Chain A
Amino acid sequence: MNIIHITLGILLGGAVLTYFANKISGIVRDLVFISSIVVAAVLFFIKMTPDTVATFNLGGITLALGMNHFGLLFSIIILGLAVLAGFYSLPYMKGKDNLGFFYMNYLLSIFGMMGIVMAKDLVTFFIFWEIMTWSSYLIVVYNGNNANKIGIKYIVFSALGAYSMLMAIVMVYSQLHSFAIADLAAGFTTMPAGYQIAIALLLMTGFAVKAAMMPLHVWAPDAYSNSPMSYTAMFSGALSKMGVYGLVIVFVTMVSHLPQNIWIRETIAWLGAITAVMGTLYAIFQDDAKRLLAYSSIAQLGYIITGVAIGTSEAMIAALMLAVLHGIFKANLFMVVGAVERQAGTTDLTVLTGLIRKMPWTFLSALIAVIALAGVPPLAGFVGKWMLYESLITNSNYILVIVIFFSSTAAFLYAYKILYGIFLGQEEPEYKDVKEAPALMVIPMLILSTLLLFLGTFPGYLFKYIDNALVVMGYPVSQNKWWEMSAIFNDWGNKVNLDLVAYAVLTVFITIAVILFYRWKNTRYVTTKDLSSCGEMPKDDENYSFKLDFYKPFERAISPLLKYKISKYYDEFADGMEAFFDWTRRIYNGNAQTYAIYVVTFLVILLLIANNIFSA
């Protein structure tokens, strides 16, 4: 009985208990739920030491769980977000139906994720991967919005990914007669060449689905935006990182040994970049804050995938840095949107307006998260992006840099849109009574924002974990200058002092803020109806918000690019398959005579060809 048993036991037991506690009372349920996350997280971080191992023997297979620094990095994201989003859930989910069911699946998906990062063999990995998948699926359909379309899309892609993985797993076993990941890493090169490439690509498919890489991303916008926001914070923040976790392992232990190494890396890096660009462009034109963030998540994961695919030491650090940061700021933003949804009743950006004075704390954390997302100094997002550019340039991927830079710049547009759409603009009377979200929702957001500010200033704290993680994956130890933000991994001669850049920008921002503050006195608050246009009186039901058709000219400019929706092809394929299945069904026409004819025909054919297929 060690900490691995305890952590997983608490999470699993907590899940079951929470479900049954729901029958007693809401308060007991909430207490059981939150205490199982908090206790599991606290115990985990206090007691967990790398090299703890737990083994189980099941069905003739030894299942092994253990921890190393690489898994630890991801455990921090998972458990950290789980605790914060868990507290946030309590007021956010209050009053909804079937909460026992929701919290049970919430805990089960954390259980699944923790199992994944601790899995030492492929079967364990797969078991926990599937637990994570179906528990998250049950939350995606929890709201019941169009469950049969959105839910099925999610589960089909997830199952496609999972089954690719399963196929790879049994192929590995047939070659190495071991499921251990360590054996796979060691014995990978001894396998036949065809197996090597097939296994690497199949595993990659499985992980790419969860990381929502194009063209396997079509489930993501619906799934992210239809889950309750308190879960989407986890879903986009932590669960999608499981794909990244797996991709890192595949690239490091498998792809780097393949002769087609370069081609695979380039292809995946480009797919990541295209994902980033398309995700960003779609995000810009979303009028719903949830969908905007969903597309933004896809885009951000694109950068991470590019970094992982390039796979140099710098690129990997950048990717993992972005992965952690994305977990923080995207969770923060989804929480913001959830708070707005709860308080104002909608997430439609064309309707929402001017909530800054009603929900100042929410605005503050949204502002910080958005700045981090856009990658503006001095927040942490900048460091990650900067390092990604640097690693790409070092690796001579100049075009890739341009593409990613484009998408990163375009991200400003949606970053601004969400901020302006919700919080800025004229105040409308219908939002007169909106209040700030409850403290339990605001505090987790503020904690995440503070974290972003902190990591922006002292990224060294994060680098330490990332560096340890990469050492496990076989990368060399980087320089030990944790406290200096500047010059780390800066191959341009350690000349550019990033601190200086960061604080210069900060000063400019503060100066502008101060000037604006002093002009504030003369501000007059108006509504959108407070205007006179050629003597015509604006009607109440007309929407005069600026947010309507916000980026219309830009949209018109790039509309040819947006015409090609991959989901359309998937839908056509699905329709075609369904028609085909229906056609096949007619073999069973319900007529006894037809069935008898089948039997006799089969017998006759078999007798005729028997000598060819059977050898006595």
Chain B
Amino acid sequence: MVGSPVQLIAIPLLAAFLMPLLGKAWKELVRLTPGVVLLYLLYLSVDLLSYTIGHGRVVEVIAGWTPPWGINLVFSPFSGFLATLMLFMGLLVWIYSYRFQPFEDYDDYEPTLKYYLLLMMLITASVGVVLTGDIFNLFVFIEILGITAYGLTAYYRGRDGAEASFKYLFIGSLSSTFLLLAIMIIYSQLGTLNMADIAVRAHELKPVYKISALVLFLVAFGIEAEMFPLNGWAPDAYSQAPAPVGAAFAGIVVKAGLYTVIRLIYTLFDVGGTYEFLIVMGLITMIIAEFAAFSQARLKRMLAYSSIGQMGLVLVAFGIGKEEGVYAALFLMFNHAIIKSLLFMSGSYLVYKSKNKYISELNGIGKMLPVTSFLFALGAFAIVGFPPFAGFWSKLAVLTAAADSGMILIIALILSISLIEVVYYLRVVNRIYFVKRDTDLEITKPTPQAMLSMLVLGAIILVVGFYPDVITGILHKASATLLDKGSYINDVLSLSQTIN
């Protein structure tokens, strides 16, 4: 028997409430609980995912209120894949941050509790965003996600963290405002908050309401998905947040943001021009972000801009549409989660003791931190798409999809941008290994836990690179599910009919 998707939300919420109490009993439990919870949830999620692949999506009605009245959770191969990915990344982030030295430096019970609480809630909220079938519920999860993310960004109680967190909060609150406005428009016109129901009845909306709601949604979700020019908050948040949190942003939070845009365009509204909009905005996002990444002097900011650029590419892939495009986009998301998290994790140990985190301070660090440097180089090679590493297959997929739609110019653009990417990543790799060190550099060796999670990610890069079939089957299934809007509506709304 498969567990219920509700557990994916309910258990971590319960655990979060219990954690302060458990901490009173034994302090170590505060650190251990998220790991145990995430491990169980990952097991549950994998189990559910393999079930849904065979049997179609699982729609869970909460408290007996059937759709379109109650809140429901939809665990389909698409949303389930994203949820599983998030839980997996969450588990690795937890392993990485277990006894992470800067956290231990506080030597205080309170900050530790806060960190693990917030991290678990961040992951829960992201999972909630992708699973929920109710648009107001989505809003709630996005708010939880935002609040935990602001808190984690400012976790180091310094000026920089606070400033980054404030920017994030400022722009994030704009996002919430627009989102709420859009939901109000929908509710006032259709009287429903269920996404499947909205999708069915969207044609009842007057064009002016429909377009305004769409624009408000796009801007609100665009902020979460780091679309240009709405992504000013992102580089600061990524680079000022503690290392594991940066990895969590790249691996988990931005995926939730992208999901909202995709659900909006693929399921909620059937409006012409949205796909083209995605392509254009994706390209602009990608170009500007990669340009900016090229001229960064600080490692983590470079990674942050690069991450935004990749999200632009994902948007382009979703904009291409069809099964191929969605498949490519999901593959890109998967690879980005794995590789960019690895880069953040290993990169933060490379600049660990450095005050300014400049790339130019990395000269010759490869000799001092061989494994970490190797993993960073592996990540760099993978993300620029050198075969036989994971990134190549997703790049091939997105280019093939574009070629099949006859978008030759877009291919040329994507490849030219990749050239920039190659330069700035290999510049770093060159410094790590091939430029002689001129100044003394203090280093810190990664903790065994951090090493473990980095090695797992490195292994995945190699495995997917040499044998992509481990992941392609589920990606195909997930992309087919996303495109089959009719069955989504049917599966959700049929519940009310069967019960009535």
Contacts and interface: CB of A to CB of B under 8 A. Distances in A.
Are A and B associated in one complex?
yes
Interface of A: 57-60, 123, 126-127, 130-131, 133-134, 137, 141-144, 147-148, 151-152, 155-156, 159-160, 163-164, 166-167, 170-171, 173-174, 198, 578, 580-582, 584-585, 587-588, 590, 592, 594-596, 598-603, 606-607, 610-611, 613-616
A385 B422 CA distance: 39
B277 interface: yes
B419 A167 contact: no
B223 interface: yes
B34 interface: no
B483 interface: no
A163 B415 contact: yes
Nearest to A594: B232
Interface hub of B222, B295, B412, B431 (most chain A Cβ within 10 A): B295
B171 A610 contact: no
Given A148-B430, A167-B399, 14 more contacts: A141-B433, A141-B434, A148-B435, A152-B426, A159-B422, A173-B400, A582-B295, A584-B288, A587-B229, A595-B232, A598-B230, A599-B223, A601-B229, A606-B218
A603 B219 contact: yes
A587 B422 contact: no
Enumerate the 6 nearest inter-chain pairs by beta-carbon distance, A residue then B residue, closest first: A595-B232, A174-B403, A59-B468, A147-B434, A615-B272, A170-B403
B218 to A, nearest CB: 7
B43 interface: no
A12 to B, nearest CB: 10
Tell me if A's interface is mostly helix, strand, loop or mixed.
helix
B156 interface: no
B400 A170 contact: yes
A307 B150 CA distance: 65
Contacts of A58: 467-469
B434 A170 contact: no
A613 B396 contact: no
Contact of A598 (B229, B277, B292): B229
Q: How many of chain B's residues touch chain A, expressed as a range?
A: 35 or more
Contacts of B476: 60
A582 B297 CA distance: 11
Given A584-B288, A603-B178, A615 B434 contact: no
B166 interface: yes
Contact of B396 (A123, A174, A600, A606): A123
B174 to A, nearest CB: 5
B434 A599 contact: no
A596 B174 CA distance: 8
Contacts of B406: 174
Contacts of B288: 584, 587
Interface stretch (B190-198, B380-388, B488-496): B380-388
A174 B404 contact: yes
A456 to B, nearest CB: 41
Interface string B417-433: 01110110011001101
7 contacts: A144-B435, A144-B436, A198-B408, A592-B167, A595-B233, A606-B215, A610-B215
Nearest to A60: B472
Contacts of A592: 166-167, 170-171, 232-233
Contacts of B101: none
A174 B291 contact: no
A595 B231 CA distance: 8
Given A59-B468, A606-B219, A134 B232 contact: no
B232 A57 contact: no
Nearest to B202: A616
Contact of B219 (A60, A156, A580, A602): A602
Interface stretch (B24-32, B62-70, B137-145, B204-212): B204-212
A131 B388 contact: yes
Contacts of B251: none
Nearest to B203: A616
B387 A131 contact: yes
B219 A599 contact: yes
B211 A127 contact: no
Given A58-B467, A148-B431, A603-B215, A171 B271 contact: no
Tell me if B's interface is mostly helix, strand, loop or mixed.
helix
B86 to A, nearest CB: 23
Interface in B250-301: 271-274, 276-277, 288, 291-292, 294-296
Given A584-B291, A606-B215, A151 B426 contact: yes
Interface of B: 166-167, 170-171, 174, 178, 205, 207, 210-212, 214-216, 218-219, 222-223, 229-230, 232-233, 235-236, 271-274, 276-277, 288, 291-292, 294-296, 381, 386-388, 392-393, 396-397, 399-400, 402-404, 406, 408, 411-412, 415-416, 418-420, 422-423, 426-427, 430-431, 433-436, 467-469, 472, 476
B244 to A, nearest CB: 24
Nearest to A140: B434
Contacts of B433: 141
A582 B296 CA distance: 8
Contacts of A131: 386-388
A170 B396 contact: yes
B214 A614 contact: yes
Nearest to A56: B467
A607 to B, nearest CB: 5
B415 A167 contact: yes
A616 B415 contact: no
A144 B400 contact: no
Contacts of A170: 396, 399-400, 402-403, 411
A580 B408 CA distance: 25
Given A166-B415, A598-B229, A130 B387 contact: yes
Contacts of B219: 599, 602-603, 606
A580 B294 CA distance: 10
A607 B217 CA distance: 11
A376 to B, nearest CB: 41
Interface hub of B276, B296, B408 (most chain A Cβ within 10 A): B408
A152 B423 contact: yes
A603 B418 CA distance: 30
A34 B496 CA distance: 71
Contacts of B419: 156, 159-160, 163
A134 B386 contact: yes
A578 B427 CA distance: 14
Contacts of A615: 271-273
B138 to A, nearest CB: 20
A157 to B, nearest CB: 10
B393 A614 contact: no
B427 A148 contact: yes
Nearest to B235: A588
Contact of A152 (B167, B233, B399, B430): B430
Contacts of A57: 469
A596 B469 contact: no
Interface hub of B207, B399, B476 (most chain A Cβ within 10 A): B399
Contact of A130 (B214, B386, B399, B469): B386
Contacts of A151: 426, 430, 434
Contacts of A144: 434-436
Given A587-B229, A587-B292, A614 B418 contact: no
Contacts of B415: 163-164, 166-167
A62 B296 CA distance: 40
A590 B298 CA distance: 14
Contacts of B427: 148, 152
Contacts of B472: 59-60
Contact of A616 (B207, B230, B296, B397): B207
A147 B207 CA distance: 58
B211 A611 contact: yes
A103 to B, nearest CB: 16
Contacts of B292: 581, 584-585, 587-588
A566 to B, nearest CB: 18
A560 to B, nearest CB: 34
B411 A147 contact: no
Contact of B212 (A130, A134, A137, A607): A607
